[in-house]
Amino acid sequence: MKVQIMSPAADRVDYRVPPAPRLTTLNGKTIGLYNNMTGGADIAVERVAEHISERFSGVKFERYGGDLRSDRPALSRGNHIDEEEAARIAEEVDAVIGATAH
């Protein structure tokens, strides 16, 4: 008898994306909050928004994840931000905070 063992792990992808320049302040900035719709991610980004609001003035938040925008793709664990949506979000906010859970 021959046994074949298969690994469920995905192939490793080796590429690097340089980090975006850091903002000097969050005062008056618009921050995107993205959750991938896993349990607890929504709570995590809301908690981060609370902490940021306490420390910086005039901060606005745009939320991404789920079906929040009728003219945009519904983002979920199975439907991630694609290149086109990422470009649209980049035009709307100064920075993005993402959260996943589970």
- Tens of pLDDT, residue by residue over 3-26, are 888 888 777 777 787 888 899 999
Report the chain (102 residues): mean pLDDT per 10 consecutive residues: 83 79 96 87 92 97 84 77 87 90 63
Q: Which two tokens mark 23?
A: 């903002």
What is d(CA 46, CA 83) in angstroms, rounded to the nearest whole number?
A: 25
According to DSSP H, which parts of the chain are helical?
A: 41-55, 83-92
Look at residue 95 in the predicted model and tell me its pLDDT.
Answer: 95
Look at residue 101 in the predicted model and tell me its pLDDT.
Answer: 65
What is d(CA 52, CA 16) in angstroms, rounded to the nearest whole number?
A: 28
Q: Which two tokens mark 77?
A: 């664990």
E-assigned strands of 11-85? 30-35, 60-64
Domain ranges, ordered by start, for the chain? 30-99
Distances (CA, A) of 101 to 6, 16, 36, 73, 77: 27, 23, 8, 21, 10
